[in-house]
Structure 1
Amino acid sequence: MDEQLNHAPCGFLTLSEDGFIIEINQTLLRILNYSQDSLIEQHVNSILTVPARMFLQFYFFPLVKLENRVEEMYISLETSKREEIPVLINAVSKRVKERTVLDCIIIPMRKRNEYENELLLAKKETEQALKAKHKAITELETTLKKLEIQKEELLELNQQNQKYKIETKKELELARIIQETLLTNPINNDKVQMEVFYNASGELSGDIYGIYQIDQYRYGIILLDVMGHGISSALITMTLHSLFQRLISAGLPVDLVMKELDSHLHKLFHNNEEARHYSTAIFLLIDTESQKIDYINAGHPPALWQDPDGAQYELCSTAPPLGTFEGVVFETKNFTYRKGGRLLLYTDGVDPLASNYLAPLLRKTVSLPLYKLKEEILLYLNNEKNVYHKSDDESFILVDLK
């Protein structure tokens, strides 16, 4: 790296295609309080906050792969002292010595954030003052007669609301029953053994899954998480279900199934960008005769595969979430397995990053039967709710391949 770039007034680093640091200038090392030796050949996750790691995995790398560049993306870095530093990142991919690398310019935004926070605070104080003044004027102008009229209107409205609330609750309960009826049962035979868990954070859920035996040897497993967890998300899961049930049961290839689901979401919101929803998804096609698994991960938390000896592999994101970008090419990944391996698929309500809890638990319980592992995960989820009061849809699928 030349001297001018090494001491430029902004950060600079070069990443490999899979996110490992190849070069980093002194300016960025000084900002992060690291030495060069401690970061070279380390993964970029080592200088990112947890939300930034997820953001780069689900959006930054897929976007660079799709468009060969990223402009003014806002993320947060983490110094060696665990200090969070907001930055803007610009990146471009290029070919160097027959491999693809990413050159990144990083601009700290600490001062700008301080100014924006001061402006927002001043705006909030002004709005509160105006609201207080308006309220005082309104109270002075309100007459006793008007209050009585409003009181009668409110009583009538309250009665209508109570009736609507009861009717809505019944309709939501019916919708919840229909949604849960769509969920397929786990398959257990001499080839595979499965356990599933599904829990909506409210009446309806944005999570949905499907498990299908296609023929004597092939099994299709799909898990999706539609943005949000309200009525709109639940309706979208139902339309996706009818589509993927037909496609997977017909034994279509993994990439074609994901392409059709992506096209379906784009068509749903073709004329209404404000209502657009996206969905993360992971689909696996298991062939027990050839002992091979084909899969595509569209922005979903990485599934975990564990060999019989305990070695683990992450089935990381290979494409952006469904419904985000037009013209995405879905590339099928695959691997062969040995009998006795274990697979775990989950949504981010269970664990946003599998490395936090699920991976160590899977490794520790390699000898336990599936139902015992399921009990351990549920115990963890209950403890998390008691500590952090989490409220999110939760789904996971456990598979043993015999």
Structure 2
Amino acid sequence: MDRQLDEAPCGFLMLSDNGNILSVNRTLLELLGFDRHDLINKHMNQLLTKPSRIFCQLYFFPLIRHENKIEEMHFSLQKKGGEEIPALIFANRHKKEGVFVIECVLVPMHQRLEFESEILKARNIAAAALKEAAETNKELENVLCELQAKQKELIKLNKQKEQYQERIKRELDLAKNIQGISLSTPFSNEEISISAYYQSSNELSGDMYSFYQISPGKYGFIILDVMGHGISSALISMSLRSLFQLLIMKGATAEEIMAELDTQLHLLFRNGDGIKHYCTAIFLTIDTNTKEIEYINAGHPPALWIGRDTEITEFKSTIPPIGIFEDLTFRKSSFAYQEGGRLFLYTDGVTEAISANTLNLLVKEQEPIHAIKEKIVHFLKLDEEIGIKVDDRCFLLIEV
């Protein structure tokens, strides 16, 4: 690396296409408190906070590989001692000596806080000067001039903040669209019919569902609820959903799927500061050939099976939520049915709005599942109409 680039007033990174650090300039090393040997050949995650690591995997790398260019994406860097530094990243991807590399420029965003601090100091000086206006008129004029200059700078910074918020909103809207598109599309055939509902409390949701036809006559379903709301929960749920899709396409068993999801949650926060994110989840398979349902419920509200006689069977939780305890043992339970029936899976946001008794009456009604879905959604929207703060809400209705 030449001297000018090494001593540039901004940070510089050269990454491999999979995110390993190939080169880093002295400016960035001094900003974060690392030595060069601490970072070379290490993954970019070494420099990022936990939310930024997830954001990087889900958005930064897919976008740079698709567009070959990124401008003004916001990341949070993490110093060697743990202090967080907000920064903007600009990146280009190109071939160098036959292989793709990613060159990144990182610009810390300290100035805003410094300017606000200076403006507050100027205001305090102005207030004191006003009390002594008769004796210090000249000093007051100087302070007022300084204040006007700071106010102009604040207006400029506020405009930058508005532009930044607009960018964040666009990115959140994009993330919300991606999250919605990633949900499985309901379908119907001679064996099974599926109706689904999904509503986030914020721009993004920690609830997620997914389902697939595993083989002729056999179907797999999962519904999960990550602790909390918003961006961090949504990123975790998307990560788990991607892993679930990979596992079920490989033909993994119910025990293997839940164990891998549990491991993924622990790995996401392995190097954290004690913060844990847990997730309730229920995974089940329906085999219409053998007329058997197998399931594992990890701390999730019980799934409801409604037989042809309208009797309700609950598939209750038998183990804690995933992500809390390591080395959990996952054992599936099974349920045999005779004449088909209806299955209802949901997250706890549904039962916060509808009592268990009312919910049982609704799902037992002898109507098509799309009509029952409309009735349940009507009850859920009553909370929103009267301004009650609601949780993420998600449910699946399955007619077997």
TM-score, scaled relative to structure 1? 0.62
Residue 361 of structure 1 corresponds to 362
Residue 312 of structure 1 corresponds to 312
> Is the alpha carbon distance of 1:285 and 1:151 closer, same or farther for their aligned partners in structure 2, counting shifts above 3 Å?
same
> Is the alpha carbon distance of 1:138 and 1:369 closer, same or farther for their aligned partners in structure 2, counting shifts above 3 Å?
farther
Count of residues in correspondence between the two structures? 265
Residue 287 of structure 1 corresponds to 287
Q: Does 1:303 align with 2:319?
A: no
Q: Deviations over 1:377-396 (max 9, x none)?
A: 01110112234613221110
Q: Give the letter aligned to residue 260 of structure 1.
A: E
Shift in Å, 1:251: 2.6
Residue 392 of structure 2 corresponds to 393
Contact preservation (8 Å) 2:301, 2:317: yes
Q: Does 1:270 align with 2:265?
A: no
Residue 179 of structure 1 corresponds to 179
Q: Give the letter aligned to residue 156 of structure 1.
A: K
SS at match of 1:190: coil
Q: Give the letter aligned to residue 361 of structure 1.
A: L
> Is the alpha carbon distance of 1:145 and 1:339 closer, same or farther for their aligned partners in structure 2, counting shifts above 3 Å?
farther
Shift in Å, 1:266: 0.3
Q: Deviations over 1:233-257 (max 9, x none)?
A: 1111121111100112233211111
Shift in Å, 1:349: 1.3
Shift in Å, 1:219: 0.3
Q: Does 1:230 align with 2:230?
A: yes
> Is the alpha carbon distance of 1:260 and 1:354 closer, same or farther for their aligned partners in structure 2, counting shifts above 3 Å?
farther
Residue 249 of structure 1 corresponds to 249
Shift in Å, 1:148: 2.5
SS at match of 1:184: coil
Structure 2 distance, partners of 1:230, 1:381, is 20
Residue 376 of structure 1 corresponds to 375
Contact preservation (8 Å) 2:194, 2:398: yes
Q: Does 1:351 align with 2:351?
A: yes
SS at match of 1:376: helix
Contact preservation (8 Å) 1:303, 1:316: yes
SS at match of 1:225: strand
Q: Give the letter aligned to residue 320 of structure 1.
A: P
Structure whose alpha-carbon radius of gyration is higher: 2
Structure 1 distance, partners of 2:332, 2:125, is 64
Structure 1 distance, partners of 2:362, 2:156, is 56
Structure 2 distance, partners of 1:157, 1:321, is 44
Once the two structures are superposed, the pairs formed by residues 141-180 of structure 1 within 5 Å of their partners are 141=128, 144-145=144-145, 147-180=147-180
Structure 2 distance, partners of 1:278, 1:248, is 22
Structure 2 distance, partners of 1:375, 1:149, is 58
Residue 217 of structure 2 corresponds to 217
Contact preservation (8 Å) 1:187, 1:211: no
SS at match of 1:380: helix
Residue 189 of structure 1 corresponds to 189
Shift in Å, 1:303: 1.1
Structure 1 distance, partners of 2:189, 2:358, is 29
> Is the alpha carbon distance of 1:223 and 1:273 closer, same or farther for their aligned partners in structure 2, counting shifts above 3 Å?
farther
Contact preservation (8 Å) 2:383, 2:390: no
Contact preservation (8 Å) 2:196, 2:395: yes
Residue 330 of structure 2 corresponds to 330
Shift in Å, 1:145: 4.6
By relative contact order (CA 8 Å, sep 6+), the higher-ranking structure is 1
RMSD across aligned positions (CA): 2.2
Contact preservation (8 Å) 1:196, 1:397: yes
Shift in Å, 1:274: 4.4
TM-score, scaled relative to structure 2? 0.62
140-149 vs 267-276, which deviates more? 140-149
Gaps of 5+ in 2: 1-122, 130-142
Contact preservation (8 Å) 2:126, 2:144: no
Contact preservation (8 Å) 2:206, 2:227: yes
Structure 2 distance, partners of 1:174, 1:393, is 19
Q: Deviations over 1:3-50 (max 9, x none)?
A: xxxxxxxxxxxxxxxxxxxxxxxxxxxxxxxxxxxxxxxxxxxxxxxx
SS at match of 1:251: coil
Gaps of 5+ in 1: 1-135
SS at match of 1:357: helix
Q: Give the letter aligned to residue 232 of structure 2.
A: S
Contact preservation (8 Å) 2:221, 2:285: yes
> Is the alpha carbon distance of 1:325 and 1:293 closer, same or farther for their aligned partners in structure 2, counting shifts above 3 Å?
same
SS at match of 1:375: helix
